[in-house]
Chains A and B, each alone.
Chain A
Amino acid sequence: MSAPAAPSPLLLLDGIDEPGLRTLEVYERRGGYESLRRALAMTPEEVLAQLQASELRGRGGAGFGMGTKISFLPKGSMDKYLVCNADESEPGTFKDRELMQKTPHLLLEGIVIAAYAGGISCSFIYIRGEYVQQADVLDVALAEARSAGYLGDDILGSGHSLSLVVHRGAGAYICGEETGLLDSLEGKRGNPRLKPPFPANQGLYKGPTLINNVETLCTVPAIIRMGGEEYAKLGVERSTGTKVVSVSGHVCRPGNYEVELGIPSREIIYGLAGGPPDGRAVKCWFPGGSSSPVLTDADLDIPYDFDSLAKAGTMLGSGAIIVVDDSTPILDVAMKVARFYRHESCGKCTPCREGTNWTVKMLERIDAGEATPMDLEIMASVQEHIIGNCLCVLGDAMAMPIGSMIAKFRDEFEAHIEAARSRTEAA
């Protein structure tokens, strides 16, 4: 497949600011819940086939095939659960917030269809506690949908039933990790669990559990409307469809933009978000939230899709582009990132708990003029020892970007070490 031709359709953001869209009345007037009716007229297997044909990959960070995930759920009549991950805490990411706040029924419709495909009768939206206003919007929409018969027992006379609870978190990044989320939803500390067993086999309350991101589920109604194969024509091979990208940091027009996957990254950063202000240049950018290894201005022409970014040694992640311009020292960026992960490490696994702390201390040492260039080697090796050695990827999420910064900006780190040392010695 070749690079997509502009303009791409808007499947998620189209008319999202229409007044009253969050009410059932306006949502229905715009054709809302038609996809649900269509899905309920099919068998669950047919709905699943459409989702698989769409090749939709999860929009939360890992990029796992959504249809494949549903197909992993065991068949049978046991209690199965669907959990919508609305914990959106990856620094730089704010797409789910905009979707939930402005078009809550789209999410509810996606949840009901996905639950139907997976034979699921009990579902939850785990929304981060900070999103107070968005959770309130969801609660109102939920009540509306329930009284209209889109949720609850025997939905639209199909015989399919689904309960849904909006569960508010209380502020912990780790609860966006799917097993940490499950423990938190069970009323415990949000510590990640050992995998396997994967949630599809043993998740919430030890039952088979499907966990999907808000944007993934919001895409489901469009797939049913268009047909899976038609949806798969959008984007590029192995990165089908459109994606809401959150652009932030040093750009003129930060915000959410819906793009067809595979467009050049430059088009998003400069074309849509306006690039860095005042003639400043891009120094580095995170393509998928603060957990993704950084790229530089030399990488701006990389197509924005899962595989192209993976080939460049980084990841699409949650689709959050953070742009850093050349006025910012790389040490400041590294320090922010490392301090965040130190604060959010749950402390269960040693490499993450200690590694995030040591990294912050080493960065502080560099800034205080107490480091030598050898400390960079030590810091890089700490990162290598975190990756792959913990129950979840929180530690990796610091190690990968920090490692990439050391590799790509070594000269600047060394200059910083020297400058800070001579400053300290002079004083």
Chain B
Amino acid sequence: MTAVRRFEGGSRVPGWDEAVDLEKDPAEVPDPATTPVPEGLREEIESHMADYPDPRSATLPALEAAQRVHGWCSPEALEQVACVMGLTPADLESVASFYDMLETVPVGAHSVYVCTNISCSLRGADELYEQIRAAAAGDPDLNVRSFECLGACDIAPMASVDGVYVGPLTGADIPRMLGEIRGGEPVLVDKQLLRRAVADPRAGAEPPPETATEQGQG
């Protein structure tokens, strides 16, 4: 089990004990004239906003896009999103701090989420997580985190590497996995979830097309 990240005074909230300037006006919607936004990012956010009846619904995709550009939801990133969406940075910070996948501190470029929830942990995920963490220690490019159930208990214990699910993992997979991440190669190709057939034996792939048409779907 991993320790919860603690800040000053044992708090889980960074900066909780810093004095607040009560005289200061709240940050307003950033002025487009003084807030440069990378062109690609602006276009992406605007296209998300056009998808919804209420443009504010684009907050999550917009923050995700900004995080891709900046590496995390930095004050600068929030400022840019706020500028395009016409919201205050505080609106966005309240959202960014709520979700596990939005980073509120700088992190490594490659995410390795190791599921340590119940089904994975019954199959050795806690030990696996410690091993991965130890193997990745000191590498600033890796963001190794224990994560809540990732919805892949059939390949437990498993991890999500930059969104690609791999499992079942053993300690022996770790050097290759980290090597492939660092080398920019596809990760553990033979252990990727996408290659896995459904467990139900009766759901096997259908015979060749000529007989399949007779069977139809039901």
Contact indicator A170/B99 (Cβ below 8 Å): yes
Q: B122, B156, B213 — which one has the most chain A CB atoms within 10 A of its CB?
A: B122
Ordered nearest first, which 7 A-B pairs have the shortest CB separation? Answer: A255-B199, A132-B163, A171-B100, A248-B153, A187-B59, A170-B99, A171-B101
CA distance A346 to B94 in the complex (A): 12
Which chain B residues lie closer than 8 Å to A250 at the CB level?
Answer: 122-123
**A88 within 8 Å of B (CB atoms):** yes
Contact indicator A15/B101 (Cβ below 8 Å): no
Contact indicator A133/B194 (Cβ below 8 Å): yes
Among A40-48, A331-339, A387-395, A402-410, the stretch that binds chain B is A331-339
Q: Which of B63, B64, B154 sits near A248, CB closer than 8 Å? A: B154
Within 8 A of A (CB), among B73-97: 94-95
Q: A205-B54, A248-B119, A328-B122 are in contact. Are A184 and B60 (CB under 8 A)?
A: yes
Contact indicator A15/B53 (Cβ below 8 Å): no
Q: A9-B218, A336-B117, A336-B121 are in contact. Are A131 and B151 (CB under 8 A)?
A: yes
Contact indicator A322/B118 (Cβ below 8 Å): yes
- Bits for A270-297, please: 1 = Cβ < 8 Å to B, else 0: 0011000000000000000010000000
Which chain A residues lie closer than 8 Å to B98 at the CB level?
Answer: 172, 189-190, 346
Contact indicator B118/A343 (Cβ below 8 Å): no
Which chain A residues lie closer than 8 Å to B163 at the CB level?
Answer: 130, 132-133
Within 8 A of A (CB), among B105-159: 113, 117-119, 121-123, 147-154, 156
Within 8 A of B (CB), among A90-127: 90-94, 96-98, 101-102, 122
Which chain A residues lie closer than 8 Å to B57 at the CB level?
Answer: 167, 185-187
Total A-B contacts with CB atoms under 8 angstroms apart: 206
- Bits for A254-267, please: 1 = Cβ < 8 Å to B, else 0: 11111000000000
Which chain A residues lie closer than 8 Å to B53 at the CB level?
Answer: 79, 122, 205
Which chain A residues lie closer than 8 Å to B200 at the CB level?
Answer: 10, 13, 255-258, 272
CA distance A69 to B75 in the complex (A): 43
Which chain A residues lie closer than 8 Å to B149 at the CB level?
Answer: 89-93, 290, 340
Among A16-24, A54-62, A148-156, A416-424, the stretch that binds chain B is A16-24
Distance of B216 from chain A, by nearest CB (Å): 5
Q: Which of B54, B61, B153, B212 sits near A92, CB closer than 8 Å? A: B153
**B27 within 8 Å of A (CB atoms):** no
Considering the complex, give the chain B residue whose CB is closest to the CB of A90.
B149
CA distance A306 to B101 in the complex (A): 34
Contact indicator A189/B198 (Cβ below 8 Å): no
**B69 within 8 Å of A (CB atoms):** no
CA distance A37 to B65 in the complex (A): 38
CA distance A101 to B155 in the complex (A): 15
